[in-house]
Structure 1
Amino acid sequence: MVSLTALHALRDDELITPPDVTAAGLREALTEMAKVVGDNNVIVHTAKSMKPDTEGQYYNLPKEHDLFYILEKEHFLASAVVSPGSTVEVSAIVKLANKYLTPLWPVSMGRNLGYGGSAPRLRGSIVLDMGHRMNRVLEVSDRDCTCLLEPGVSYFDLYNYLQSNGHKQLWIDNPDLGGGSVIGNTLDRGAGYTPYGEHFSMHCGMEVVLPNGEVMRTGMGALPGNNTWQTFQYGFGPYPDGIFSQSNFGIVTKMGVWLMPDPGGYQAYLFSFPKEADLPEIIERIRVLRIAGVIMNAPTIRNTLIDAAVYGPKSDYTSNKGVLTSEEVDAIAKKIKVGRWNIYGAMYGPEPMRDLQWAALKASFMEIPGATYEFPKPRAEGEPRSILHMREETLKGLPNTYELGWLDWTCPRGSLLGFSPISPATGVDALKQYEMVTKRFREFGFDYMGTFVVGWRELHHIVCLTFDKSDPKQRKKAHRCIELLIDDAAAEGYGEYRTHLCFMDQIASVYNWNGGASLKFNETLKDALDPKGILAPGKSGVWPARLRGRGFELKRSQEPHKL
């Protein structure tokens, strides 16, 4: 990286210029942006200045490229990183971007591991680092159980703020890793594991900078002097909040979030099942209990290896560097004392209420032959945490980073690529998805590590493909494997709900009912709101008219399928 003061010492061919922007134009744009945010908050990047892989990790992720790159490291490379400190500064930067045609790629904290990090979809874009300076908890209401946040507030930050400022009766809901942005995860429609786990449903009110630099507030925030911005989601008229999730229609600078009051009691549990073939029956029983409200949160059904990877790398269990056999997975399950499938869930509420829940859970799951259950046991001093202890914290809204162990499964400091299709919550669909993914993973030489999560009525299948990015062959295999899985899934009616930068165009292309009416609608909105095409071009497969059809899309590979 290069400071702004050194910008003019760079040769033109060293700058990463975006389409339709000259080196001189980029220099002038960055110089003008520095007048808004300060010289120290503009960092210029070149192909030679990318953070070395050995320096990148969860709390020190590169902002200019994807740490877990699938294509070449410099493919998704930013020209600069600009860090605004207020909505006013964001608005001013957006207006300058329109003037100079410099595309912006807003990120909150860039810790969406497995989906691209902070890297921009369009090479040469300026990463707008919303989390570096805009990181305040602005308001908390104990009465309404709400808060108002900026993009740089992580789950750890929010939890610590509540604990340190007299709000201990309020719980947060966090995903598997607690270091990411609350707003970022919500906008990407991420999820957690308490009864408040559907994050976008729990947001209330946004402040948004539109692609022309104008600032708007959604919901009740549109009424001057209102007092219900964080308590009533809809306001009056059309409800626009959804178009700012997974989109390039605006930059969210503030967001309201609903918090969960202490439920008056809590108990985590684990049900383990010994056979791979138990999956369909598990899903069928969970769906019934979930829809009935007996299960109040989103339980996870984890396979053996995703638990094993939290404890240690593959080499701790076996010398087999190929795909593990079913017998080898059984041996690992026995060693770490879990099943082939494991439900991690929790009960919430006073003890009489939990007793009723437990009676229903136990009666249902223990009908599956070989099923066992356990509750977290107190740990002796120095005793390591079990997976159940770790999940107990997550299910209670205590942020942590235990799941980072996945990254070392294949090799030290390995990489992660996510694949996340959605299906009905049925045993038939769960088995079909599982067999579909394991078949492709065996074909390409990857171990299956996955979790099924039952939401309100849908089934999330979260698949973690771990690979060695230092090996170009592994990168190519990982890329091709997911390409084929996207088509496999679409053929069965399953679509991904979020994805890596590499696959945004391909996934947008399979959501093609009625001649691609959905994408056409998004492009129409894009062109109306962002006529110069400066905000996050290519995000979720939506390109502005200025850049559409010029070869920046990444369609599915047409080369013959070879390993």
Structure 2
Amino acid sequence: MSTSSTFPPPPALSSHHSGLPERLAEIGIETKNRLLSKRTLPESVARQQNVPRLPPDTNRVEFDQAIDELKQILGEEHVAVNDKPLVDGWYMEHPNTHDAFHIALQEDLVSSAVVYPGTVGEVQDIVRWANKHKIPIYPISMGRNIGYGGTAPRVSGSVVIDLGKRMNRILNIDAENASCLLEPGVSYFALYEEVQRRKLPLWIDTPDVGGGSVLGNAIDRGVGYTPYGDHFANHCGLEIVLPNGELLRTGMGALPGKDGGDNPTWQSFQPAYGPYSDGIFSQSNFGIVVRMGMWLMPETGHQSYLITFPRDEDFPDIVEIIRPLAQQRILGNIPQLRHVIQELATTARPKSDFYDGIGPIPRDIIREHASSLPVGDVSWVFYGTQYGDAASIATQLDSIRAAFSKIAGAKMLLPGDLPPSHYLQSRVSVCSGVPVLKELDWLNWVPNAAHLFFSPIVPTRGKDAQVVHEIVVRLHAKYGIDLFPTLCVAGREMHYIVNIVYDRSSLDEKRRAAVLMREMIAETAAEGYGEYRTHILFADMVAGTYNWGNNALMRFNETIKDALDPNGILAPGRNGIWPKRFRGKGWEITGTEVEDALEGKGIGPRPDL
């Protein structure tokens, strides 16, 4: 167990593709020390299940022979059998063997091996090998979609393809076109630092934490906070290894360039000619994206701000004011609306500093401690950023201030009104394309902190937002879990993102979090609201709510899957899409399977135990 508050520093970007840039070295050390000093779990424990966990329908002799063959293809140093103790690590040093934020038991979703291709050709070789041996493979870019499953394969015993370790080149930055071409292992940190090194007048759009893969986040339809915040909408051109090992380029990339090179419009125009196929490779298991074009934002003037609102019941009125501001594009970015409890959490202090009782922190205790924080005793905090020249920004802020003044007690604050440690200062960076680590601070809320995201899409209307909010509030109270809501707001829809924080050493907290997740999925779907993204263990439930027309969408997805991947080797079960080989054979999770797994019953069929 941890007895020291000093740990080895995080890896540096200069020596590791997934490391931290020098500008964040000290912050990284402080962040790591805070998180790991609260750890009560041992770094690793003895594994109880068969080691390594074998792929389905494969015995140990067959597995060993297949792995030996793969080592001959890639080189022995690029194939690692997962037979070592499982270590959760932390955000900057996470495993590629399992889910660092395991909601079931740590061993329930583990790989049999991890492989590290260095070229597109080697990815194709791995796919052909998997088809030959009928071994499922699970590609990851960098594995930092923590809260949604991390690096864990949905089918235990799959071979994880870690694309990031050796395929992490920025292949091109076109300053005139404001675009780039990337491999999967390029992080937001790496792309930002390269743009700065070249002194280009361009911004990247980063999510809350900057260590993830630019390609991976876009393919999973993640979001950021500049006007380019819809990441998949701002990609342009994919190169994909299909489940049979063939290579595909989409969009203008399908047109050969002069003398065998890339054509000059691949990163300029998305659809090209014919059906627009890019979308089927996002949130799917239809191919492995090995290269992606991305649009960058020309740099501009900017001004971040926050607006506070005094009462919890102001919530629907706030949403009603946001909608026309967003639709008329007066709001400059994808803003956030957060509850004041997150003002406590982003101080990086544990919950026990504010409340040592049982159950969720009471509202009056939140109010008491918020009173001593910079924004004071408020209920909702709106974080926004405006763009352009000084005069236009001033006009925009006047319009926004006037609109929100309709809510009694609303107050606008600028970064200069708040201390350097306040969360708004990190939003200044994120909303101007500078990746940071600040968002990790709320992981200090409980020891051994992990989290799940519940992420429904809600129309930007007060009455709709209130329906979902009331469901979420009631169920969090029912299961005794603190509620951390963040709404990423656009003109027609909001991502209502709930961060379920739990102690991963506590089976009881895991169980309550899993039941809470399951009931929120069901209740919001019954009202007509569905999630845009979810943890791999809840993918079947979420996919099952999109059942209009006798499950027409899933039947369409399964048709594509079976046509492209007849052997069912590529990421079976990802986002609820199962190939014929696995379909209806005990792998789907549609009920209490996650809670049952906490009693040692495992996930899916267990022929190897």
Question: TM-score normalized by structure 2?
Answer: 0.87
CA displacement, residues 202-256 of structure 1 (integer Å, 9 cap, x when unaligned): 0000000000000011101001002100000011111110011010000000000
Work out the CA distance in 2 between the residues paired with 1:163 and 1:550.
51
Partner of 1:525: 560
The residue identity in structure 1 corresponding to 2:168 is: N
Return the match for 2:158 from 121, 125, 140: 125
Corresponding residue for residue 348 of structure 1 = 387
Decide whether the 8 Å contact of 2:324 with 2:491 is kept in 1: no
Cα deviation code 1:434-487 (max 9, x no counterpart): 211111111111111110111342111010011111111111111111011100
Q: Which range is displaced more, 19-28 or 140-149?
A: 19-28
Matched-pair contact (CA < 8 Å) for 2:511–2:595: no
Q: 1:560 to 1:203 in 2, by over 3 A?
A: closer
Provide Cα deviations, 1:358-416, integer angstroms capped at 9, x if missing partner: 1210110122101111111188xxx642111111111111101111112121x223111
Summarize the Cα distance change of 1:459–1:23 in structure 2 as closer, same or farther, 3 Å threshold.
Answer: same
Secondary structure at the aligned position of 1:441 is classed as: helix
CA distance in 2: counterparts of 1:133 and 1:540, whole angstroms: 26
Query: CA 1:524 to 1:288, structure 2 compared with 1: closer, same or farther past 3 Å?
Result: same
1:161 aligns with 2:200: no
Matches within 5 A, 1:139-538: 139-167=172-200, 169-225=201-257, 226-263=263-300, 265-311=301-347, 312-338=349-375, 339-377=378-416, 384-409=420-445, 411-538=446-573
SS in 2 for 1:59: coil
Corresponding letter in the other structure for 2:434 = L
- CA distance in structure 1 between the aligned counterparts of 2:552 and 2:85, rounded to whole angstroms: 39
Greater mean alpha carbon deviation, residues 399-408 or residues 316-325: 316-325
Deviations along 1:403-435, whole A, 9 cap, x unmatched? 1112121x2231111100111011111122121
Question: Does the 8 Å contact 1:65/1:74 carry over to 2?
Answer: yes
Aligned to 2:45: none
Identify the residue that residue 29 of structure 1 maps to in structure 2: 66
Report matched runs for 1:49-128 at 5 Å.
49-53=84-88, 56-128=89-161
* C-alpha distance in structure 1 between counterparts of 2:215 and 2:196, whole Å: 20
Asked if structure 2 preserves the Cα contact closer than 8 Å seen for 1:50 and 1:64, the reply is no
Measure the CA separation in 1 of the matches of 2:264 and 2:593: 55
Contact 1:15 1:23 in 2 (8 A): no
Q: C-alpha distance in 1, partners of 2:161/2:392?
A: 47
Deviation at 1:26, TM superposition (A): 1.7
- CA–CA separation in structure 1 for the residues paired with 2:593 and 2:185: 40
**How far off is 1:560 after superposition?**
12
Aligned partner of residue 473 in structure 2, secondary structure: helix
Q: Which residue of 1 aligns with 2:40?
A: none
Structure 1: distance between partners of 2:67 and 2:198: 39
Deviation at 1:77, TM superposition (A): 0.9
Aligned-residue offset at 1:183: 0.6
- Indicate if the aligned counterparts of 2:182 and 2:215 stay in contact, CA closer than 8 A: yes
The answer to whether the Cα contact below 8 Å between 2:334 and 2:489 also exists between their aligned partners in 1 is yes
Task: Tell me what 1:16 maps to.
Answer: 53
User: Once the 2 structures are TM-superposed, how far is the Cα of residue 179 of structure 1 from its aligned partner?
Assistant: 0.4
Amino acid at match of 1:246: Q
Measure, in 2, the Cα distance between the counterparts of 1:358 and 1:150: 39
Q: In the comparison of the two structures, how many residue pairs are matched?
A: 540
1:51 positional shift = 2.4
Aligned mates of 1:341, 1:331 — CA distance in 2:
15
SS at match of 2:92: helix
Q: Structure 2: how far apart are the matches of 1:472 and 1:143? A: 54
Q: Distance in 1 between matches of 2:51 and 2:213?
A: 32
* Matched AA of 1:395: C
Shift of 1:84: 0.6
Distance of 2:197 and 2:594 partners within structure 1: 56
Distance 1:119 1:13, change over 3 A: closer
In the alignment, what sits opposite 1:6?
none
1:5 alignment counterpart: none
Alpha-carbon distance between aligned partners in 2 of 1:531 and 1:206, rounded to the nearest angstrom: 23
Q: 1:559 to 1:243 in 2, by over 3 A?
A: closer
Letter in 1 for 2:181: L
The residue identity in structure 2 corresponding to 1:510 is T
Contact 1:333 1:340 in 2 (8 A): no
- 2:111 partner amino acid: A
| % identical equivalent positions | 46
Moved more, 192-201 or 432-441: 432-441
Give ranges in structure 2 of 5+ residues lacking alignment.
1-48, 258-262, 597-609
Superposed CA deviations along residues 50-86 of structure 1, whole A, max 9, x for unmatched, are: 3234xx1001111111111111111111101101111
CA distance in 2, matches of 1:267, 1:15: 52
Question: What's the secondary structure of 1:301's corresponding residue?
Answer: strand
C-alpha separation in 1, matches of 2:229 and 2:346: 22
Paired residues of 2:325 and 2:491 also in contact (CA < 8 A): no
Which consecutive aligned stretches of 4+ in structure 1 deviate over 6 angstroms post-superposition?
558-561
Q: 2:586 aligns with which of 538, 541, 551?
A: 551
Q: Residue type of the partner of 2:161?
A: L
Contact 2:448 2:504 in 1 (8 A): no
SS of alignment partner, residue 452 of structure 2: strand
Of residues 109-118 and 301-310 in structure 1, the stretch that sits farther from structure 2 once superposed is 301-310
Q: Which amino acid aligns with 1:44?
A: V
Alpha-carbon distance, 1:337 to partner: 2.8
Q: Secondary structure at the match of 2:293?
A: strand
Instruction: Give the conservation status (yes or no) of the 8 Å contact 1:45–1:64.
Output: yes
Which residue in the other structure is 1:3 paired with?
Answer: none
Partner of 1:7: none
Q: Which ranges in structure 1 are unaligned for 5 or more consecutive residues?
A: 1-11
Task: Identify if the C-alpha distance between structure 1 residues 123 and 558 changes in structure 2 by more than 3 Å, giving closer, same or farther.
Answer: closer
- Checking the alignment, whether the CA contact within 8 Å between 1:304 and 1:332 is kept in structure 2 is no
In 2, the alpha carbon distance for the partners of 1:99 and 1:461 equals 43
Q: Deviations over 1:58-115 (max 9, x none)?
A: 0111111111111111111110110111111100100000000111101111111211
In 2, Cα distance between the equivalents of 1:317 and 1:353?
Answer: 42
